[in-house]
Amino acid sequence: MTPNPILKVLSTLTAHRVQYLLMGGQACVFYGAAEFSRDTDIVVLTTVENLRRLTAALTDLKAERIGVLPFDPEFLDRGHAVHFRCHHPDASGMRIDVMSVLHGVAPFSALWQGRTSLELEEGVWIELLALPDLVQAKKTQRDKDWPMIRRLVEANFRQHAENPSDEQVAFWLRECRTPAILRELARQYPRATADAADSRPLLALARGDPSALTAALDEEERQARAADSQYWAPLRAELEQLRFQARTVPDPRDGDSSESP
């Protein structure tokens, strides 16, 4: 049987008892949104013991660090991602992106409490970022993330629309980006919609002109993209500085580069 590289990565993390949460494209697949990704994006707890376990898992996967960022909790806790490439035969080419802080999302301890646990196969459990947290983490400046948010919420709505909990209705009203669904929610749950409009004013348009609702959704997205760009600006500047330093630091194998030619 052909090995499943995604399963190999996740089962290795589980075997080493790494405290992590799967996010990104692979998490979207598990929540019913159609996306394939060879990248395993995880958010981790940055305690000494947990990073030791993660290091052991990466060693088993023959994963090499790529990029200039060191595998250091100092960088992770500032919001950077550290990237690895696997060379284990059963996970060859798989990339693992490790973070510990996500923009606009609760600290890891709260994310862990609300996580979704899923058994991939007998005895192999994985931990996923909860759907509301995954949606929040997807509010970036990247073009591909906004259609994914829409599909994630639509998939959850289709699954639970017949008998939703109050919590699910509140989630849809807070995050749905599909005008037709928002109008349906406003019709079925007028009181909940009115309450939710205090924190999401565009819901007041859900029973009015459809074009106005669409325009408001576009503006909401624009503002979220701008906020994400502002959040990443200092991190990108720091990363560029590290890249510059990596290019200018002499290789000791070349001798003393300060010596005149």
Give the pLDDT confidence score for residue 37 in this predicted structure: 73
**pLDDT-based confidence at residue 35 (cuts at 50, 70, 90):** low
CB 76 within 8 A of CB 98: yes
Instruction: Please tell me whether residues 9 and 132 are part of one structural domain.
Output: yes
Q: Kindly state the tokens that stand for 142.
A: 């990247």
The pLDDT, as a whole number, for residue 152 is 97
Q: Identify the domain containing residue 175 by its residue range.
A: 145-222
234 within some domain: no
Residues in CB range of 203: below 8 A, 6 or more apart: 173, 182, 186, 193, 194, 196, 197
63 conformational bin, left if phi > 0, alpha if psi -120 to 50, beta if neither: beta
Q: Span 27-53, mean pLDDT? A: 90
Distances (CA, A) of 242 to 56, 237, 258: 26, 9, 21
Are 51 and 164 within one domain?
no
Is 162 found in the same domain as 89? no
104, 181: one domain: no
Residues 6+ apart with CB under 8 A from 146: 138, 177, 221
The token pair that represents 201 in the structure block: 């004013």
Same domain, 116 and 35: yes
In-domain check, residue 250: no
- Are 108 and 151 in the same domain? no
| pTM for the predicted model, two decimal places | 0.90
Residue 246 lies in a domain: no
Q: Is residue 80 domain-resident?
A: yes
Q: Please state the rounded mean pLDDT for residues 1-10.
A: 77
**Same domain membership, residue 152 and residue 132:** no
Quick one: average pLDDT of 144-160?
Answer: 96
Is the domain of 66 the same as that of 173? Answer: no
Q: How confident is the model at residue 34 (pLDDT cuts 50, 70, 90)?
A: low
Average pLDDT, the chain: 91
In a domain, 252, yes or no: no
Please give the DSSP secondary-structure letter assigned to residue 255.
-
Boundary residue ending a domain (85, 118, 136): 136
Q: Report yes or no on 260 lying in a domain.
A: no
**Residue 116: pLDDT over 90:** yes
Using the 3D structure, point to which of 104, 136, 168 is the last residue of a domain.
Answer: 136
Structure confidence at residue 249 (pLDDT) = 57
Q: Other CB atoms closer than 10 Å to residue 10's CB: what's the count?
A: 23
Is 241 contained in some domain?
A: no
Can you say how many angstroms the Cα of residue 158 is from the centroid of all Cα atoms in its chain? 22
Do 127 and 195 belong together in one domain? Answer: no
- Whether residue 23 is found in the same domain as residue 114: yes
Give residue 1's pLDDT: 34
CATH number at residue 34: 3.30.460.40
149 and 118 fall within a common domain: no
Q: Are residues 150 and 108 part of one domain?
A: no
For range 70-79, the mean pLDDT:
95
- Number of folded domains that form the chain: 2
Name the one residue in this structure whose structure tokens are 């949104």: 33
First vs last C-alpha separation in the chain: 59
**Would 25 be classed as within a structural domain?**
yes
Q: What is the pLDDT of residues 211-253, one digit of tens each?
A: 999 999 999 999 999 999 999 999 999 999 998 888 875 554 4
Burial group, residue 86, by CB count within 10 angstroms (0-12, 13-18, 19+): buried
pLDDT digits (tens, 9 = 90+) for 86-106: 999 999 999 999 999 999 999
Q: Got the DSSP string for 124-171?
A: EEEEE--HHHHHHHT-SS-TTHHHHHHHHHHHHHHHHTTS--HHHHHH
